[in-house]
Amino acid sequence: MSFDFDAVIVGAGTSGLSAGAALEKAGKRYIILDKKQEIGLPVRSTGAVSLEWVNRIGMPTDSSIVASGIKAMSFRTDTGKHIDMSFDRNVGLVYDFTKYEKFLSSSFAGKLNIRMNTRVSGISENTVTTDSGSFTAKYIIMAAGPQSTFGQKLDRKSVLVAYEETRKLPARKDFQMILWFSDMAPGGYFWDFADTEETRKIGVCYYPVSGEPPKEVLKKFTEKFPELSGQVAHTMAHQIPLSMPSEKVREGNVMYTGDMVNAVLNTTAGGLQGAFWSGKAAGQSVADDNPSHYQEVWDSEIRPWLLRHHNLHRKIHRNGAKSVGRYITLAKIMPKSMQKKIFGGL
């Protein structure tokens, strides 16, 4: 049977673009479909990632897409406990998210074959049906995000809401990343991340048990720490699935990636690394005409890494900010080398 493509990729976010990059590098026939109008919008991530993992899984580090490096960070509770860390080099970076995804789509592996403004209405065996026609492929890579109707039925009870305001504030001279753990943000934290010389990213992610809008939660926290107050340049809001990572990521010729399989670091609520890694692994499996290899990589490498973060998150947040405070106290008596190994690799 002949097909239009080796793979149809549904979703032009980080996981879909990294899958496409793997196929582009391998010289395969593929198409990426997305209902959005523009790559990288709306913004769905703070963009902060650990350089240890960026380098390990091959994420791009081009200076044109990096808003700021991270070589000094502070982990705090809003009751005053803290552990401050500095390094002689960057251990993390903050992507300009829109520039980062545009780079994945055009400069990382060459210009990818993407069709925007295309809504997928059905998937059956080797055919993906859209509002502008049908496409057939030997393989289908699903990278459509956590709310896709075409995803697996996952546990969505453990979902954080995230809300961020890019505020007009001068760059800090002490830390490029600060996390506050507070009972105002159950299961999550508030943050102050570096951005440009004139702006910083101030945000919150938490379990919405109170029903209070995240914008109001962030406003109240800012009132407690007025040094975070500044004119809002733009905002970002989305949901973060924090359930256990899926066990099964492949069903026949279909592979699931990114948020569709909970490829999220629960300790930091970061999804860029897991999205990129899972998309890349799925794309490479298609390029090798070996779909089972993706499940093997997921089982042996990706899922164990995600599970460690899942279990650590549960321990750290077991008793709210008080529990986090105890971990900070323990961390402060660790050797500096161990502190840097643990916190520098998050």
Boundaries of every domain in the chain: 5-40+98-153+248-315, 68-93+156-242+319-344
Instruction: Say whether pLDDT at 112 is over 70.
Output: yes
The pLDDT confidence band at residue 153, using thresholds 50, 70 and 90, is low
What is the model's pTM? 0.90
| Class of the domain covering 68-93+156-242+319-344 | alpha beta
Report the distance separating Cα 341 and Cα 346, nearest Å: 9
Q: Please, what sign has the CA dihedral across residues 94, 83, 271, 341? A: positive
Report the distance separating Cα 163 and Cα 204, nearest Å: 6
Q: Please, what sign has the CA dihedral across residues 337, 340, 343, 346? A: negative
Q: What is the pLDDT of residues 213-266, one digit of tens each?
A: 999 999 999 999 999 999 999 999 988 877 889 999 999 999 999 999 999 887
Contact between residue 166 and residue 234 where contact means Cβ atoms under 8 Å apart = yes
- Reported in sequence order, the residue ranges of 71-181 that DSSP labels E, i.e. its strands, are 72-77, 82-86, 92-95, 114-115, 120-124, 127-130, 133-142, 159-168, 177-181
| Equal fold, 5-40+98-153+248-315 vs 68-93+156-242+319-344 | no
Count CA atoms within 13 Å of residue 84 on its CB side. 4
Determine the angle formed by the axes of helices 336-344 and 320-332, rounding to 10 degrees. 140
Omega of the bond leading into 42 within 30 degrees of 0 (cis): yes
Report the CATH number of the 5-40+98-153+248-315 domain: 3.50.50.60
Q: Please, what sign has the CA dihedral across residues 28, 39, 96, 179? A: negative
